[in-house]
Structure 1
Amino acid sequence: MEKKIILKQITIGSAQNGEENILTLTSPFMDCRLKGVFTPEGLGSHIKHLMSIRDVADLTNRADQATIPTKFSIHYTINCKKVSALLNWFYTDLYISPETTFLGQLRYDHAYYFSLELPTASTICFKQLSLEKTKIHLTINHLTNHIKRLVRLNFSSEKLNWNKKIQTDHLALQLLIDKNTFTMSNTLSCQPHHSTLSLKCSGTLMQDAIYIDLLPSCLKTHGKIWTIQTEQTSVISKTAIDIGNLSIASGNEGLFIGGKLSESTDNPLHCTIRNLTVDHFLEAVQGAGTMDAQLLAYLRKGHFITTGTLSLKECTIKNHPIGSFTTKVDWDSSENKLTLGGMLQKAGQQLLQVHGYYYPEKQQDNLNISVGFNKMDLYLLNPLVTSVCSEIKGEINGNFQVTGSLNEPKLNGKATIDKGQLKINYLNTLYQVTGEIKANQNVLYINQLYLQDAQKGHAHLSGTIGIQNGFPLMLSGKVEQLHLLNTSQSDNIDFYGNIYASGTVQIQGPIKDVIIHMHAKTHKGTFTIITHDKENIENTTQLVRFIYNKEHKPSNQLSIKDPYQDKAAVKLILGLTILPNVKTKVLFGSYNSNDMIQGTGEGNIQLEIGTNRKPYLLGNYRFKSGTCTVSVYNLIQKTFTITPNSQVTFNGYPQEGIVDIKATYKQMAFIADPSEERNDKESVQVEISLSAYGKLVNPSIIYGIRFPLKSVNAQINTKLEECYSQALLDKNYLNKQILSLLIAKKVYDVKNINGWDALSASINDLIAQQIQNWTNIEIETDLDINAWKKNEETHPLQKTKIKVSYLFLSNHLKLSSAFGRYSNLFNDWEISYQISKAHNMSFKLYQQPIENIGEKIELFGISLSYTKQFW
């Protein structure tokens, strides 16, 4: 494939400052500046000279070096701008962050000297390694003469990512090469997990091999200190790697490696593992166990061959016992194949058996392995599908055959699932599972997989699951009175419920992007839809928030990416036909409001929910019966009875739904006899109507009143008709009347107000004037209103006192003020603070009016009280 780089503009500048020359190059890719004593012709001669000697080992003995290049000295600065395109032309997996600046020096004075420095932290990425905030300082004396060469390297990086699986925090490397000897010091750490690897060594560089002596080194991790040492010098050559008995040990745990890795079977490389705790290596699947192993390794025609035995004892996953696994690998020299054997045992029973062959010298069809399951615990699958399913249990029995090659394996066989169980996280429903699975050429065929819930609802699924290319699913089936949804408000703040349904289901797509289609009729259950304020739409994106019910201890290990971490995106499309025996609840207005519509009815709703998706609803729901609970004028909450055929229509996000509700509230209220001769009161029935229309998040609500039953008193009937007529014409009068009916349970009468009624009316007038200002304000429930009435027959207004209190700071701070009976808001007030409830300590600041022989006196005081119980 031909690669091209198009350079539209480049600027080259040249200048001279005394004996020094300055050469600059400016382009969209990078800027380069050379400063020193040099000439372009001299640089060209040095390049030719270096190319002519690049393959010669002993450069000092060449006879054709009669002409020595002229001396030069250059200080260079390279500023990388958009250099990625240029780098990819040479090496596709190399990346250097923009605005990275390299600087250094190159000179020749009978010998070459080179230096490179990256003083400002930058990011450098290769195919399998990325280094962030990297700094480099490199100097090389006698660049082309290995006999006199002197190399100093200081390298540091604050964060490394190895093959996108292992991440560490800090790397510090120092390397010194003096002629043919070297010393190296390396520190690798992961500060959040308190892990540090300190590795030091020295050695000799020879033409045929590298000799390495390991200096005292250690690894600190997971609260343990591991000593790293060798008994002999290790040698790396072109034909073999000879390890001088390396030991990595901590207490009774250890890893021991020695011998030679080569084509020869004499003294092969051997590895012994003793009592190695593997909990931290298996933390990605929350596994635990202890490993022992005896392994041999050597090369055979370029293939790496390993034989020996390995065992994992007392394995667990999420504290669930799995058993002990042992495996053995031998080399069959007569047929040039590896024989494989292994088993998983638990409580003396073989749950899993593996045996077969591997032919490393064959290019195709080099695998032939049989796997048998005997009551194998399906709990092992839990870590593999954590975001889709959980609580997987049961047993699997059957046999599978793995053929083909390591690169293209082929799976065939069949098995049955007995006593199975799984929980679908996005529905929060638990099912019992039984059925048969067949495998043919890497495709799992499922025929009549049976699911059943705790209420005997069931489903049958059939279809296929691919085991390659993202594990694509294609399943379909029927459900009959199945527990379809079992979520609460803690799972999903937008839509939750407990629904049983019958219909069809289809599951398709790769395991990490599954789409579940379902068309069903709901038979019983409840569900709730919550609307949010518009500004909160972006925060309602998750279907279910999962909380694992076991305590997770903080991990101290290196940050290892979970290879089974399933970041699946599941989309659920539910086409629901809701029948009248399903209870429906819709919470509207502010999320913290208790205003709601609930009842039963019929509807067809399509609901789309999923991972990182906002719920989306389409359809209509019509109430047959139910209630509508609203905060009337945001002051007092009342529950109205819904009129049949009231409805909610959805056409997008829940808060964009349109409500069209009509409801009534009935109660008894007192009305005074209009006759001046009598001072009687009569109880009459009042019906307050409500009509709500508009978006669920903030519907427009209109109230009305009527008196459905007539009184035997004609004058009272006339008065009620006047109230009804005036309420139709005067909105302010209607507001006052409704507040009077709901709060005081009295019919508001502007023509007959005295005493307590006058005071009540003034309060209603004050509130009525502020209704429009308060409609969008949530009134706290910590508001207390106390009234005292004495001797209603004599001067009722003068004998009445109203005290209003407001509580703050979890009821510790209380502000009070009173008016009526010689008091007003400014001369009768109190501020009290409860310092300690346990010791009954409180502080009070107050002012009160005092009546003293016709004279009004105001008392101001401060008090501190402390109460202690002695017995």
Structure 2
Amino acid sequence: MPKLKIPEQGTFVGNFNSNKNTATLNGLIKTIRYDKMVFHDLLIDESTENDYLGVNISLSKVNITDSLFIKNINITNFLKRDSLNFNIKLSDKNAVNQLDLYGLVEFGRDTTAKLKLLPSDIIIEQQKWRLAEQVRIRILENARTQIEGFVLSNGLQKISIDGFISPKPEDKLKILFDQFKLSSLDQLTKSSGIKLGGTLNGEATLNAITSNIGFESDLRADSILLNKTVIGNLKLTADLDNANKLALINLNLLNKGLETINLSGKYHLQNEDNQLDFHVKMNQTEAIILDPLVNDLVSNLGGQISADLDVTGSLDKPQINGNLSLQKTALTINYLKTPYVIEDNLTVKNSIIYIENLQLKDTKKGVGIVNGTVDLNNLSNPNIQVTIDARNLMALNTAFRDNRLYYGTAFASGKFSFAGPTDNMKIDIKARTEDGTVFNIPLNSSSTASTYDFITYVSKDSSKNVKKERSFNGVTLNFDLTIDERTLVKITTDYGQLEGSGTASNLMLNINSSGDFEMRGDYLISNGKFEFTAQNFISKNFQVNQGGTIRWTGDPSNAEINLKAIYEVRTDINDLYRAAGLSNPQGGSQQKLVQAELLLTKSLTHPDIDFNFNFPNDPAIKDELAAYLNDATNRNQQALSLIVRRKFATGTGQNLTKEVGSTAQDAISEFAFNKLNNFISQSNIKNLDLNIRSFNDASASLRLFKNRLVLNGSLYNNQVGNDLFNQNANVFSSNFNNFTKDFEAQYLITKDGKLTAKYSYRALNSTTLNTINDQLGLQYVNGLGLVYQQDFDSFSEFLKNIFTKRRRRNAQPLPPITTPAIKTTSALD
């Protein structure tokens, strides 16, 4: 037996006692292979006494195929005189499927034997089926077997089998289905992504089973569900003419009184090249019925299909000709997870679907024009050659569970192409992103799927990532993207998350069939925020300055960053003066607006980090403290204190317990406020931004008229510190008059933003007028102005633009050119 293999040695131990007429045999074989079947942990326990033989056989698992297996098999046999009792158990009591079968074999004096199946239980898909009565199976002469009384039932469901298994045409075997639920077949169909529903009734008759088999059937399936979609009632009649090797088949599907499918024709058993001769008529058929044929490429089929098709050729290579009509047919491209709707007519010639100017729509009113072919000559692996000219079309809609390399939602205009068979598909997308596109690129190894909603790259550090089967096996994806400022980008690292907008030209994202991912291109950051986090506890938001860059040259984790971000806080600057060994020339305790500038350079995942300080309302402070702040150690220590504690460190050795307690309070408070702000920003209020930094510092921004009018306002308490638990220091307990009010309105007179009108209402913070402020209290100043902005790369370009415009204004208009009229005379005059 060349197909039988035993990779590991087995062990058997036997004992024989002639005086007592006893014998025992015990053995174990770890693995047995027979062809594609694999038997695991075969254990045999045999004992013999006088006229009694007992054998117990067990296996931990039997692999029938790569995906089909049976667990926990136990077979018990007792042979005494002319009778054999047996019990077969499969799987365990907690399994979805289970068998507990009892039987008796009686051996006759001639060559016949009688098999009785005793009342037994079978569990299929957690449904208990009962073999209630004795089933008689007689093994007769001339290779004939008779089955009587086989009835398997589950409630009202019944499957009955009666008749003969033999080579004779007159011996028939009848199989009767009564209220059989199609959902019981899920164990067989789920590997193909098919979930059935409905009930099956009818009868099938087979004859000459062991020679030239023949059959006829009359089956009805009512209220069929295919993947939870109602497709109707089915009636199937079939008759096998074994003499002529011809099967006549007729299938009808009715849904709500309408015949949605009519299939009729012949199947030639002996003609291998032209087995099929069928005509298929479909009328408003539910598209889900095609799911088994296309589920490798598309999913979530919906809508309806009509068709008039002729099917010839063989089962391996059917030839399909005719017409298809797609009626609001919905589908999702598996590799991109993008849902589309199609409504058009198609032509099928020699199993090739020809697509001409088909209109594809997404769920957000984006449109794509499709051209190309789909070759169905290999139904199990169709060949796609399709291009899509997209206008604001959804190009990507994947989630973390779909692909761990990157995922996301993107709207784009450009050209999409799909080329190759479904198991080796190449997808190229060259497009510019449109409004509503959001990218998430997490480069932190410990990120979780629930945090990010869009395009993501997951660190290749295998020690920190859970292994998962690649979902892009055999697929190559190439993105060539142009990104504008309407696209929101989120990049997450171990030290924080960057969220902002910017521009990029020819940003390349590539993933090959082996799952290797590369990014190439420069991303220029216009604005946004950077959320600094530590140990998932400290959370601080920095505002990003315009002009930052991120450059990818291959490995996404090896990108280079050049970024400046600002953290603003109002705090007492006297502590900073004391740390520098200086006295505040303004005197007294005053809250000042301080900007801690975070500088990130070199590696994106392990950047060089530095800090700087700005005092926007009183720049003289930076000059006075220049010597102290020029020291990198001083800058970093004060930045850390300001970021974590919201105030400067004095450097005079304050009580450590108080420092730690203050740090914990402020860290907890701002962590909570940042999470509240993130929640608000993710709501449906798109034109309003709310930023609560502490109990005594909050701001809001309102954008109107397509962002041309922007209103900004803030409240902050200038009289108190940042103590979270100081009952007199927050907005809920302080007098409103104690709060400083800032307001600014900005209107873009021109759409490009070069000419802007601004109005502001702010507290007066001038150093020169500090004494007057102390005498009169807090003073406010109104400001109104026009701002014109013109960008240039050099001073010579600036001068050239000015004088070019002046020459245009001074140039005199040329007099109009008059052309004398030419009189023509007709030859007939």
Mark yes or no: TM-score above 0.5.
Answer: yes
1:623 to 525, 528, 550: 525
* 1:477 counterpart residue number: 387
**How many Å separate the matches in 2 of 1:543 and 1:578?**
31
1:216 aligns with 2:124: no
Letter in 2 for 1:353: N
* 1:530 counterpart residue number: 442
**How many Å separate the matches in 2 of 1:506 and 1:474?**
10
Sequence identity percentage: 19
* Cα 1:139/1:683, change in 2 over 3 Å: closer
Gaps (5+ residues) in structure 1? 1-89, 142-147, 546-565, 712-716, 751-757, 788-799, 806-871
Provide the TM-score with structure 1 as the length reference. 0.63
* 1:271 counterpart residue number: 175
1:124 to 23, 32, 40: 32
Three-state SS of the structure 2 residue aligned to 1:734 is helix
2:506 to 585, 589, 604: 604
Kindly report which structure 2 residues correspond to 1:391-402, keeping only aligned pairs within 5 A, or say none: 391-402=300-311
**How many Å separate the matches in 1 of 2:157 and 2:614?**
87
**How many Å separate the matches in 1 of 2:624 and 2:120?**
96
1:171 aligns with 2:73: yes
Kindly report which structure 2 residues correspond to 1:466-545, keeping only aligned pairs within 5 A, or say none: 466-468=376-378, 470-478=380-388, 479-487=390-398, 495-524=406-435, 525-533=437-445, 537-538=461-462
The CA deviation at 1:319 is: 3.0
The CA deviation at 1:578 is: 1.5
Kindly report which structure 2 residues correspond to 1:792-871, keeping only aligned pairs within 5 A, or say none: none
* Cα 1:543/1:429, change in 2 over 3 Å: farther
* 1:579 counterpart residue number: 484
* 1:246 counterpart residue number: 150
* Cα 1:185/1:543, change in 2 over 3 Å: closer
* 1:95 counterpart residue number: 5
Letter in 2 for 1:532: N
Q: Is the 8 A contact 1:604 1:621 kept in 2?
A: no
**How many Å separate the matches in 2 of 1:661 and 1:654?**
17
Superposed CA deviations along residues 261-317 of structure 1, whole A, max 9, x for unmatched, are 345443522222212222121352221121112121112893221112112111113
Letter in 1 for 2:70: T
1:450 aligns with 2:352: no
Q: Is the 8 A contact 2:24 2:48 kept in 1?
A: no
Letter in 2 for 1:325: L
**How many Å separate the matches in 2 of 1:353 and 1:639?**
66
**How many Å separate the matches in 1 of 2:156 and 2:403?**
49
Q: Is the 8 A contact 2:15 2:25 kept in 1?
A: no
2:43 to 116, 135, 141: 135
Aligned length: 646
The CA deviation at 1:428 is: 3.7
Letter in 2 for 1:640: Q
The CA deviation at 1:399 is: 2.8
Superposed CA deviations along residues 310-362 of structure 1, whole A, max 9, x for unmatched, are 12111113332121111111245885532111111111111111111233355
* Cα 1:179/1:529, change in 2 over 3 Å: same
1:415 aligns with 2:327: no
* Cα 1:780/1:304, change in 2 over 3 Å: farther
* 1:424 counterpart residue number: 333
* Cα 1:130/1:444, change in 2 over 3 Å: farther
Letter in 1 for 2:552: F
* 1:689 counterpart residue number: 597
Three-state SS of the structure 2 residue aligned to 1:402 is strand
1:204 to 102, 107, 111: 107
The CA deviation at 1:378 is: 0.9
Q: Is the 8 A contact 2:444 2:492 kept in 1?
A: no
Letter in 2 for 1:374: N
The CA deviation at 1:493 is: 7.5
Three-state SS of the structure 2 residue aligned to 1:726 is helix
The CA deviation at 1:443 is: 4.5
2:633 to 707, 732, 737: 732
* 1:373 counterpart residue number: 282
Q: Is the 8 A contact 1:511 1:568 kept in 2?
A: no
**How many Å separate the matches in 2 of 1:353 and 1:157?**
48
Superposed CA deviations along residues 241-272 of structure 1, whole A, max 9, x for unmatched, are 33234333344322222223345443522222
Kindly report which structure 2 residues correspond to 1:699-710, keeping only aligned pairs within 5 A, or say none: 699-706=607-614
Higher relative contact order (CA 8 A, sep 6+): 1
**How many Å separate the matches in 2 of 1:637 and 1:667?**
11
Gaps (5+ residues) in structure 2? 447-458, 674-693, 696-719, 726-829
* 2:373 counterpart residue number: 463
Letter in 1 for 2:612: G
**How many Å separate the matches in 2 of 1:470 and 1:277?**
28
**How many Å separate the matches in 2 of 1:361 and 1:269?**
24
The CA deviation at 1:639 is: 1.7
Larger Rg: 1
The CA deviation at 1:425 is: 4.7
**How many Å separate the matches in 1 of 2:466 and 2:480?**
20
Kindly report which structure 2 residues correspond to 1:659-698, keeping only aligned pairs within 5 A, or say none: 659-664=561-566, 679=587, 688-698=596-606
**How many Å separate the matches in 2 of 1:689 and 1:780?**
18
Q: Is the 8 A contact 2:572 2:591 kept in 1?
A: yes
Three-state SS of the structure 1 residue aligned to 2:461 is helix
Q: Is the 8 A contact 2:231 2:285 kept in 1?
A: no
1:639 aligns with 2:542: yes
**How many Å separate the matches in 2 of 1:193 and 1:482?**
44
**How many Å separate the matches in 2 of 1:681 and 1:169?**
78
